[in-house]
């Protein structure tokens, strides 16, 4: 089969667009080529690596004419590391690009060209925002390396610094990297399933400054633990919790089931707004605390509560949105599939003396119809599903019982657009979409959409 370009060809192209995962797109006689590291408007020389039926991949050789939005990435392992995709694009342009990608799916998938997609709410300081780092270790040529996995591989790109994680995480990973051999602690080897230290996890509660460190080991027996605890305390006196997690399995799941407290408390406490949360080593918690407040405030604004409403928070995790809403609602019902997260949600409600929340563990698509069948009525439904979007059965339930207002929090604009189309066909109108930048320098974008029931569709 012949294409407009051939494998191994070296050609000059103009970049027309950027994909959702941050690759530049050039078209040669209509045939799209994806080229990482390039930006719209740029003229570049490329080397064609692979040609498939409908599109191909090429490697950037040389930038002939750079985009005016191009910046020098401050991180020395970008783009090899794979953690960030857009560091070569100015932050201002990243936000423009993310809005454009949301606009695009609203037009193409949701078929809602008239729905307002607002400017992305970005960060004033878009660095060092991650409150949790999971850092693997390995040994190469007798030297310990640490950093992050190269995109789509399990090969660590060695670094001492990651500009999107906390300084505490940088300090601890570097300190351990240079001390492990001296301490006689071997790094874990995924291929042979030998060695000891698998991962270092560092979590920081932004509002209180408390830091939790988790050392994931292959054995429970950890003879050097006292020495490690002492080193961590010397390095960072604000560490309030040091935990050992035992993961004996031959798996790439990071944590195992057994937790041992080596020092301090087994939780750290953080605040979102004025609500406090206890976070244990394995609880889910939004990773950008600054933007989480922006996101939740947006959901609250769209919910526009007066104090008389009964609200559902579907896919509620540890109840963060539920507790945020509870202060302005009559009652909030949270549902989440992970039972441990529901335990956390209940404890966090107690911790904040919030008494108007009810939490139940199970699939949202089964629990919500059950609540309706019991005769409960809901005024506002908040959903915050994983990347695959709302379950079909949940959408059917919504269209059967028709709550007046829906606030849809989404980490995947594509599935959001798909679900909005279904809800629109069932009688809802999408009023607005507000994108929020939770992950600067990555290609991800979070959205909050506000829907109102406008008419009851004829069956
Ligand atoms: N709203 C929370 C969590 C959102 S992440 C927050 O802001 O922190 C999405 C959550 O949906 C995860 O906690 C996941 O465990 C949960 N989940 C996935 N499938 C589910 C289902 N079918 N029913 C209920 N919860 C589900």
| 237-252 per-position pLDDT tens digit | 999 999 999 999 999 8
Pocket test for ligand 1, best of 295, 303, 317, 381 (most atoms within 8 A of CB): 317
Over residues 114-134, mean pLDDT: 98
Residue range 54-91, pLDDT digits in tens: 999 999 999 999 999 999 999 999 988 888 999 999 99
- Percent of the chain with pLDDT strictly greater than 70: 98
User: 221, 238, 271 — which closes off a domain?
Assistant: 271
Section 434-454 average pLDDT = 97
Look up the pTM and report it. Answer: 0.93
Judgement on whether residues 196 and 292 belong to the same structural domain of the protein? no
Task: Show which of 237, 271, 305 is a domain's final residue.
Answer: 271
261/223 same-domain check:
yes
Whether residues 259 and 292 fall in one domain: no
**Pair (191, 236) in one structural domain:** yes
Both 143 and 19 in one domain: the answer is no
Query: Mean per-residue pLDDT for 346-373?
Result: 97
Does one domain contain both 262 and 305?
Answer: no
Look at the chain and report how many structural domains it folds into.
3
Percent of the chain with pLDDT over 90: 91
Q: What is the C-alpha separation between 35 and 48, in angstroms, rounded?
A: 9
Mean pLDDT of 211-227: 96
Is 263 among the domain residues?
Answer: yes
CB 94 within 8 A of CB 119: no
Range of the domain at 215: 132-271
Q: What pLDDT is attached to residue 457?
A: 54
Q: Is 15 a member of any domain?
A: yes
Ligand 1 pocket, residue 298 CB under 6 Å: no
pLDDT at 43: 98
Same domain for 224 and 308?
no
Query: Which among 96, 104, 93, 166 has a CA at the least distance from the CA of 135?
Result: 166
Domain match, 113 and 169 both: no
253: helix, strand or coil: coil
Residue 72 in any domain: the answer is: no
Higher-confidence residue: 153 or 179? 179
Would residue 94 count as lying in a domain? no
Does one domain contain both 16 and 144? no
Residue 80 belongs to some domain of the structure: no
Q: Which numbered atom of ligand 1 lies nearest the CA of 385?
A: 9
Residue at a domain's end among 65, 92, 111: 65
What residues are designated binding site? 286, 315, 336, 384
Tell me, yes or no, whether 117 and 14 share the same domain: no
Average pLDDT value for residue range 392-420: 97
**Domain check: are 301 and 423 in the same one?**
yes
Summarised one tens digit per residue, pLDDT across range 174-191 is 999 999 999 999 999 989
Which pLDDT belongs to residue 21? 81
411 given a catalytic annotation: yes
Note whether 210 and 235 are same-domain residues: yes
The chain-wide mean pLDDT, for the chain, equals 95
Read off the DSSP letter of residue 75.
-
Q: Any idea what the CATH number is for the domain that residue 381 is in?
A: 3.40.50.150
Catalytic residue among 84, 162, 316, 411: 411
Whether the per-residue pLDDT at 262 is higher than 70: the answer is: yes
CA neighbor of 439 nearest in space, from 412, 421, 417, 415: 412
The Å distance, Cα 172 to ligand 1 centre, comes to 31
């Amino acid at each position: 089969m012949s294409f407009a370009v051939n494998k191994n060809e070296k050609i000059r192209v103009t970049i027309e667009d950027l994909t959702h995962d941050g690759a530049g797109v050039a078209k040669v006689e209509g045939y799209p080529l994806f080229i990482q590291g390039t930006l719209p408007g740029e003229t570049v020389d490329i080397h064609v690596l692979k040609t498939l039926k409908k599109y191909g991949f090429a490697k950037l050789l040389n930038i002939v004419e750079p985009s005016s939005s191009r910046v020098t990435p401050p991180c020395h392992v970008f783009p090899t590391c794979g953690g960030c995709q857009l560091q070569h694009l100015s932050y201002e342009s990243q936000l423009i690009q993310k809005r454009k990608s949301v606009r695009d799916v609203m037009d193409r998938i949701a078929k809602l060209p008239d729905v307002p997609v607002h400017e992305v709410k970005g960060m004033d300081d878009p660095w060092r925002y991650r409150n949790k780092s999971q850092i693997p270790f390995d040994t190469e040529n007798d030297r310990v390396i640490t950093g992050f996995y190269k995109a789509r591989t399990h090969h660590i790109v060695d670094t001492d610094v990651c500009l999107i994680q906390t300084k505490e995480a940088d300090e601890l990973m570097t300190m351990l990297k240079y001390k492990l051999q001296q301490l006689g602690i071997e790094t874990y080897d995924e291929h042979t399933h030998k060695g000891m230290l698998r991962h270092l996890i560092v979590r920081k509660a932004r509002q209180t400054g408390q830091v939790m460190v988790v050392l994931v080991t292959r054995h429970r027996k950890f003879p050097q633990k006292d020495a490690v605890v002492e080193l961590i305390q010397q390095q960072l006196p604000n560490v309030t919790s040091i935990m050992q997690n035992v993961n004996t399995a031959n798996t790439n799941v990071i944590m195992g089931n057994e937790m041992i407290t080596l020092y301090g408390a087994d939780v750290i406490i953080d605040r979102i707004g004025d609500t406090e949360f206890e976070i244990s080593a394995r609880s889910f918690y939004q990773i950008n605390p600054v933007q989480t407040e922006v996101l939740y405030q947006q959901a609250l604004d769209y919910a526009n509560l007066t104090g008389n409403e009964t609200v559902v928070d579907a896919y509620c995790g540890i109840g963060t949105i539920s507790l945020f809403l509870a202060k302005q609602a009559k009652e909030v019902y949270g549902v989440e599939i992970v039972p441990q997260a529901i335990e956390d949600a209940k404890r966090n409600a107690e911790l904040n003396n919030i008494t108007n929340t009810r939490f139940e563990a199970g699939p949202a698509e089964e629990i919500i119809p059950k609540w309706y069948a019991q005769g409960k009525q809901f005024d506002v439904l908040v959903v915050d599903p994983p990347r695959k979007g709302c379950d079909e059965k949940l959408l059917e339930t919504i269209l059967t019982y028709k709550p007046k207002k829906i606030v849809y929090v989404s980490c995947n604009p594509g599935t959001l657009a798909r679900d909005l189309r279904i809800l629109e066909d069932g009688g809802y109108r999408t009023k607005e979409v507000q994108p929020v930048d939770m992950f600067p320098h990555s290609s991800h974008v979070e959205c909050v959409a506000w829907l109102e029931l406008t008419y009851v569709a004829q069956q």
